[in-house]
Chain A
Amino acid sequence: MVKLTGAQAIVEALKKEKTKYVFGIPGGSTLPIYDVFYDSDIRIILARHEQCAAHMADGFARASGVPGVCMATSGPGATNFVTGIATAYMDSSPVVAFTGQVSRKVIGKDAFQEADVIGITTPITKHHFQLKNALEIPKTIWMAFKIASTGRPGPVLVDMPKDVQLESGDMEFPEKVEIRGYSPNYDPHPVQVKRAVKLLMNAERPLIIAGGGVIISGASAELIKLAELLLAPIAITLMGKGCMPEDHPLFLGMTGMHGTPDSNKLVNEADVILAVGTRFSDRTTCKLECFCPEAEIIHVDIDAAEVGKNVKVSLPIIADAKIALQQMYNGLLKKSKKKKSPWFKRTKELTEYIESQKYNDDGYINPIKLMSQLRKTLSLNAIITTDVGLNQMLAALYFKVLKPRTFISSGGLGTMGFGFPAAIGAKVARPDVPVIAIAGDGSFLMTAQDLACSTTENIPVIVLVLDNKMLGMVAQWQRLFYNRRYSSTELKGVPDFVKLSEAFGAEGVRLESIKDLPIIMKRAVKSDVTTVIDVPVSPEANVFPMVPAGAGLNDIMWGEG
């Protein structure tokens, strides 16, 4: 038992959770905690916008698997968090978000900088707490971290009235707390595993769809072992990118709206699909009625509510991906080994399509070439983050990722401006590896003010701005479906990203020719400040292949014609 103020107890509880970094911006209702931070070992990283602080915590969490922590003041600080929290929620990222709150006696009175952050974030958090008194702080923070990081991870919000931070009491820090409404199930039902083994054993055309759950549960090795045993090709979702090395012979690429033709075709030809850690989002399935109507689907997910939500499945397995895959593997090992079937040969027929993608260079950098060149300049464990738009889909399709947790992207919410702050968070988690944000010129401007955070806090990352002077992805849809009527999508080349970066004390360079990329990257990786590389890309740039909205996976478009 120790006598502490609420603020001290919060910081103490954070230390017990091994929190080393807090991303945030202080304010009136978090003054007591920031005062305790002032002489604690926890490093406080000053963001320049709370949305960025939340994305940083999210990037940190995705790069490391460890909960990321962010803090904002009440009212506008808390509401600025919303996009960041929703982004983490949609992609199951363990973020613990702390918000200041007005004192208990004025809650509900529309006090200065009061916002009902619990009400606002209930639908976008895994859970939330509002501290009712100082004594419950140790228990509450233990629960917040537990809930954020176990089962299907997700953001948890802790709202801290200012007077609770000032109240003192004799604190006891428990080793463990019972949460009676929360007990995630990790172990699969043995009968279901047996059934899955039988289905897979008898499958003529087995195929695996691997989602973000594989990465979260650390199941890459188990996934690959099982696929090799079954000779089953693997299609990934956007969130699954990184779950296996993309040079593996069974790798088909991403499936879905911007899926590779290999994966989109084979997904619909398979007779048994093993879907692991994916929620069958509409961007993955495209038109549901056309999504593998013939196949038996085995769906492994730790979240029971995802099973049967979007796609009817034949066999649900509610479990941790790693454990379930290992048990299926064990079950299959006992059976006879699969022979190389015509299906396996078919998966080998589908060839490289990247070469077939033509691009006029006419003074601009070809973004597809850029992705493959970029890969060559980077070590295998370099981390890539993306924004949203063409930049994101180009990176997903054409930048080969080889290790888990080295590709970080806002999949579910599709948040423009995510890439750069997420890169800062990832760099804090992994200072030993280069972190590169592949940005769009529209997206980057939404969070570019945090260049100030990266330079003043000495967190050097690399931002590669695909500068097409357009809100490219929207413009692509206007080109394809709205008769080239560019309503509000022309950015007109403002600002000059090189000068903008320099104004923040960062390094700014323009990539004049793709030949210069290796030298520029070499310098950027070594630099101790953030480097922004402006890459002139054609305003006409598109990303193909593409399945138009409302069409089935097989209706692949290859170009504008």
Chain B
Amino acid sequence: MMTDNHIISIIVEHKPGVLYEVSNMFRRRNFNIESITVGSIGKEGLARMTITVRGDEDTVEQVTKQLHKLVDVVKVAKLDPERSVVREMALVKVHVANSNVRSDVIQYANIFRGNVIDVSPDSLMIEITGDSEKINAFIQLIQAFGIKEIARTGITALQRGGKAFRA
């Protein structure tokens, strides 16, 4: 069976313990979370969790059903990647040995529409946003210079178009 990454967007009660409840369900049922991002949606004590799950179609269907069963989960939707905007942000600290490297890194950052957000004598920090492939590509490109640290947010996503997926 095909295993793929699937993006599930859920609206949850924004209160302590809900992240535990959700992640505990994944652990207990032996589902794999690739990434999870959480943030307030700015109203009615609700938050959105964007969860990337690896698995075949049957597994993902079970995941959505099990999520739906949790009382603190108000809405569940599986996002269609063709009709969604999917973004991830990464902070990458690159070692810059000399000024040539420095200008190369800045150039690459510009090509990838990244921002230089911190500078020190021997390093640069780049902020880059995009889908995961773009971030992977950027990281691969500058790997040769020597990456000191990476922090990635994990995926967040929204369905395109005027319709709102609301609680």
Asked if A179 and B66 sit within 8 Å, CB to CB, the answer is: no
Asked if B62 and A304 sit within 8 Å, CB to CB, the answer is: no
A181 within 8 A of B: yes
Asked if A179 and B71 sit within 8 Å, CB to CB, the answer is: yes
Q: A123-137 vs B: 1/0 string, CB under 8 Å?
A: 100110010000000
Residues of B within 8 A of A304 (CB): 65, 68-69
B119 within 8 A of A: no
A305–B70 alpha-carbon span in the complex (Å): 11
A526 within 8 A of B: no
Residue of B24, B25, B74 near A181 (CB, 8 A) is B74
Asked if B72 and A181 sit within 8 Å, CB to CB, the answer is: yes
Distance in angstroms from A218 CB to nearest chain B CB is 23
B61 within 8 A of A: yes
Interface size on A, residues (CB 8 A): 17
Given contacts A180-B167, A305-B68, A308-B62, contact A119 B20 (CB under 8 A): yes
Asked if A180 and B20 sit within 8 Å, CB to CB, the answer is: no
A220–B43 alpha-carbon span in the complex (Å): 46
Residues of A within 8 A of B61 (CB): 308
A309–B68 alpha-carbon span in the complex (Å): 14
A446 within 8 A of B: no
Asked if B69 and A305 sit within 8 Å, CB to CB, the answer is: yes
Residue of B58, B62, B66, B71 near A182 (CB, 8 A) is B71
Residues of A within 8 A of B71 (CB): 126-127, 147, 179, 181-182
Distance in angstroms from A11 CB to nearest chain B CB is 25
Residues of A within 8 A of B72 (CB): 127, 181
A91 within 8 A of B: no
Q: A294-317 vs B: 1/0 string, CB under 8 Å?
A: 000000000111001100000000
Residue of B12, B13, B24, B62 near A123 (CB, 8 A) is B24
B21 within 8 A of A: yes
A180–B73 alpha-carbon span in the complex (Å): 9
A97–B127 alpha-carbon span in the complex (Å): 50
Chain A, range 149-204, C-beta contacts under 8 Å to B: 179-182
A126–B70 alpha-carbon span in the complex (Å): 8
B28 within 8 A of A: yes
Asked if A305 and B74 sit within 8 Å, CB to CB, the answer is: no
Given contacts A118-B17, A181-B13, contact A123 B73 (CB under 8 A): no
Given contacts A122-B24, A123-B28, A181-B74, contact A303 B17 (CB under 8 A): no
Q: Which residue of B lies closest to A127 (CB)?
A: B71
A309–B29 alpha-carbon span in the complex (Å): 11
Asked if B13 and A309 sit within 8 Å, CB to CB, the answer is: no
A309–B61 alpha-carbon span in the complex (Å): 9
Residues of B within 8 A of A180 (CB): 13, 74, 167
A56–B7 alpha-carbon span in the complex (Å): 43
Chain A, range 89-123, C-beta contacts under 8 Å to B: 118-119, 122-123
A349–B63 alpha-carbon span in the complex (Å): 44
Distance in angstroms from B51 CB to nearest chain A CB is 16
A195–B77 alpha-carbon span in the complex (Å): 27
- Determine chain B's interface SS by DSSP, over half rule: helix
Asked if A305 and B28 sit within 8 Å, CB to CB, the answer is: no
Distance in angstroms from A452 CB to nearest chain B CB is 36
Q: Which residue of B lies closest to A182 (CB)?
A: B71
Distance in angstroms from A375 CB to nearest chain B CB is 39
Residues of B within 8 A of A181 (CB): 12-13, 70-74
Asked if A303 and B69 sit within 8 Å, CB to CB, the answer is: yes
Distance in angstroms from A170 CB to nearest chain B CB is 23
Residues of B within 8 A of A123 (CB): 24-25, 28
Q: Which residue of B lies closest to A151 (CB)?
A: B69
Asked if A122 and B73 sit within 8 Å, CB to CB, the answer is: no
Q: B35-78 vs A: 1/0 string, CB under 8 Å?
A: 00000000000000000000000100110011011111110000
Asked if B65 and A122 sit within 8 Å, CB to CB, the answer is: no
Chain B, range 4-39, C-beta contacts under 8 Å to A: 12-13, 17, 20-21, 24-25, 28
Asked if B66 and A305 sit within 8 Å, CB to CB, the answer is: yes
Q: Which residue of A lies closest to B15 (CB)?
A: A132
Residues of B within 8 A of A305 (CB): 62, 65-66, 68-69
Distance in angstroms from B1 CB to nearest chain A CB is 12
Distance in angstroms from A82 CB to nearest chain B CB is 15
Asked if A308 and B66 sit within 8 Å, CB to CB, the answer is: no
Distance in angstroms from A183 CB to nearest chain B CB is 10
30 A-B pairs whose Cβ atoms sit less than 8 Å apart in the complex: A118-B17, A119-B20, A122-B20, A122-B21, A122-B24, A123-B24, A123-B28, A126-B71, A127-B71, A127-B72, A130-B17, A147-B71, A180-B13, A180-B74, A180-B167, A181-B12, A181-B13, A181-B70, A181-B71, A181-B72, A181-B74, A182-B71, A303-B69, A304-B65, A305-B62, A305-B69, A308-B58, A308-B61, A308-B62, A309-B62
| Across the A-B interface, the 6 shortest Cβ-Cβ residue pairs | A305-B65, A181-B74, A127-B71, A123-B28, A182-B71, A181-B71
Q: Which residues of A contact B (CB under 8 A)?
A: 118-119, 122-123, 126-127, 130, 147, 179-182, 303-305, 308-309
User: Could you list 11 further interchain pairs (A-B, Cβ under 8 angstroms) beyond the known A304-B68, A305-B62, A308-B58?
Assistant: A119-B20, A122-B20, A127-B72, A147-B71, A179-B71, A180-B167, A181-B71, A181-B72, A181-B74, A182-B71, A309-B62
